[in-house]
């Protein structure tokens, strides 16, 4: 996972996204609220104003028809009292505010009142002109009826516009509600998709990488992530892998130091013993022969005394190298202590072991020990004791080899001696 590409903190990104969604949804909610207010306002208007207005128009229509009725009564009645009563009602209704506030009705009422007042006065004197008055009255009466019809129709259809507006608003609200729900659903899908792509999928990659994480191995390739938190997690994982590798290296070094001689690099005695036990146990099961040997440099003290301890150390290092070069890869060798070395020759019978030991003695004798200052020391002789590894244990075999080594020393050094008793055993 590389952080070279642009990344971002998920909290900011998702907060920004959520904020945007909220603004859009709040806008949709505001629109719906506006429509609801419009519905409420229209309903309130119908309830508070429309009702009284319809009632006013109905009463106006009723009064116009009543004027016509009183006019008819005045013109057909033979009773002066009745005519006066009709005229009184017409006069008073014509001046009532309910008629006066409607210009068309007020104008008609004024003409009607005047006509009927004149008619009443004339009929009081003589009823002969009744037909003429009726002829003059009819157009006005028709006009009154038509106005009453108009007014009542107006009352009937008064709520129509508001109700149509209400239906329109309700329809718009329905569409907007659906659109808002679809929008909210889309936003949720986008949100989940981004969450999956930008966060969850990289996290699954990190999880899989963690499962495969092993010390000393390269970290598996992590999926590319754009979210800062996931990027940081990947970086932490890389650091962890590097630390684990480093720790493994240190552990190996410590283990090597614990198992090997620091001067010669050969396994130390403790490690040699542990490995030799395992090896000999294996060889015994396989019925494979082995030879245990002890080698000691002859007159090594003289090197330290005549040259220096550092020269002695260098001789020991080069002896160890000769030992490694001479013995086979399957053989075990260690610095047993001082200038003494121990080894196990695996798969060797006595003859082969003796041959290998002789070759070692020969190689050491021929080796030219070149010091760091260019001085060359003559070859070192070595005394070697061998003991075959039969049914006896390792400790016993080493002890016998050590005895053979002493015998080699006693017999004049620079030789290989086989412990005969071991063979007999």
Point out which residues bind another protein (CB under 8 A).
51, 55, 59-60, 62-63, 66, 69-70, 81, 84-85, 88-89, 91-98
Closest separation in Å from C-beta 169 to another protein = 25
Token pair belonging to 397: 């075999």
CA distance 408 to 239: 59
CB-wise, 81 or 262, nearer to another protein?
Answer: 81
Closest separation in Å from C-beta 49 to another protein = 13
- The C-alpha angle 170, 171, 172, rounded to 5 degrees, equals 90
Closest separation in Å from C-beta 50 to another protein = 12
Closest separation in Å from C-beta 75 to another protein = 17
Q: How many CB atoms lie within 10 A of CB 15?
A: 11
Residue 344's beta-bridge partner residues? 292, 332
Token pair belonging to 6: 């642009």
Q: Measure CA 208 to chain center.
A: 14
CA distance 149 to 64: 9
CB-wise, 148 or 290, nearer to another protein?
Answer: 148
CB-wise, 158 or 232, nearer to another protein?
Answer: 158
Q: How many CB atoms lie within 10 A of CB 112?
A: 24
DSSP string, 269-301: HHHHHHHHHHHHHHHHHHT--EEEEEEEETTHH
CB-wise, 60 or 408, nearer to another protein?
Answer: 60
Q: Is 102 helix (H, G, I), strand (E, B) or coil?
A: coil
CA distance 324 to 345: 12
Closest separation in Å from C-beta 45 to another protein = 16
CB-wise, 80 or 104, nearer to another protein?
Answer: 80
The residues near 131 (Cβ < 8 Å, ≥ 6 apart) are none
CB-wise, 89 or 408, nearer to another protein?
Answer: 89
Residues in the chain, total: 425
- Let me know: does 123 contact 129? Beta carbons within 8 Å: yes
Closest separation in Å from C-beta 85 to another protein = 7
Closest separation in Å from C-beta 97 to another protein = 5
CB-wise, 86 or 225, nearer to another protein?
Answer: 86
CA distance 353 to 347: 9
- Let me know: does 209 contact 237? Beta carbons within 8 Å: yes
Closest separation in Å from C-beta 82 to another protein = 10
The residues near 70 (Cβ < 8 Å, ≥ 6 apart) are 86, 87, 89, 90, 93, 116
CA distance 61 to 66: 9
Closest separation in Å from C-beta 60 to another protein = 8
CB-wise, 94 or 318, nearer to another protein?
Answer: 94
CA distance 412 to 159: 138
Phi first, then psi: give them for residue 389, nearest 5 degrees. -95, 95
The residues near 89 (Cβ < 8 Å, ≥ 6 apart) are 66, 70
Closest separation in Å from C-beta 151 to another protein = 12
CB-wise, 88 or 170, nearer to another protein?
Answer: 88
Closest separation in Å from C-beta 77 to another protein = 14
CB-wise, 98 or 127, nearer to another protein?
Answer: 98
CB-wise, 113 or 318, nearer to another protein?
Answer: 113
């Amino acid at each position: 996972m590389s952080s070279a590409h642009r990344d971002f903190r998920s909290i900011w990104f998702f907060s920004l996204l959520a904020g945007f969604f909220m603004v859009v949804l709040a806008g949709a909610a505001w629109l719906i609220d506006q429509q609801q207010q419009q519905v409420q306002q229209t309903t309130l208007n119908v309830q508070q104003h429309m009702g009284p207005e319809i009632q006013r128009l109905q009463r106006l229509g009723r009064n116009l028809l009543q004027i016509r009725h009183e006019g008819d009564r005045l013109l057909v009645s033979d009773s002066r009292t009745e005519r006066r009563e009709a005229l009184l009602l017409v006069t008073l209704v014509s001046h009532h505010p309910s008629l006066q506030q409607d210009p068309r009705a007020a104008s008609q009422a004024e003409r009607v009142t005047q006509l009927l007042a004149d008619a009443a006065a004339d009929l009081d004197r003589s009823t002969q002109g009744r037909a003429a008055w009726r002829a003059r009255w009819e157009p006005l009466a028709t006009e009154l009826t038509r106005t009453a019809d108009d007014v009542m129709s107006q009352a009937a259809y008064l709520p129509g516009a508001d109700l149509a507006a209400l239906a329109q608003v309700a329809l718009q609200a329905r569409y907007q509600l659906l659109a808002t729900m679809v929008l909210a659903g889309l936003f949720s899908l986008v949100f989940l998709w981004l969450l999956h792509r930008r966060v969850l999928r990289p996290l699954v990659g990190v999880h899989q990488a963690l499962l495969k994480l092993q010390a000393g191995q390269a970290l598996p390739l992590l999926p590319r992530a754009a979210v800062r938190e996931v990027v940081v997690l990947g970086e932490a994982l890389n650091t962890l892998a590097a630390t684990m590798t480093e720790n493994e290296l240190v552990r190996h070094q410590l283990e090597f130091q614990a198992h090997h001689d620091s001067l010669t690099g050969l396994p130390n005695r403790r490690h040699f013993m542990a490995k030799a036990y395992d090896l000999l146990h294996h060889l015994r099961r396989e019925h494979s022969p082995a030879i245990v040997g002890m080698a000691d440099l002859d007159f090594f003290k003289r090197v330290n005394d005549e040259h220096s301890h550092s020269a002695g150390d260098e001789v020991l290092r080069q002896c160890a190298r000769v030992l490694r070069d001479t013995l086979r890869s399957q053989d075990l060798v260690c610095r047993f202590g001082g200038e003494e070395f121990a080894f196990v020759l695996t798969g060797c019978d006595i003859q082969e072991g003796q041959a290998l030991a002789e070759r070692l003695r020969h190689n050491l004798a021929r080796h030219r020990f070149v010091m760091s200052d260019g001085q060359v020391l003559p070859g070192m002789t070595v005394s070697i004791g061998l003991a075959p590894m039969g049914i006896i244990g390792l400790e016993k075999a080493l002890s016998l080899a050590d005895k053979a080594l002493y015998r080699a020393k006693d017999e004049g050094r620079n030789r290989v001696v086989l412990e005969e008793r071991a063979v007999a055993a």
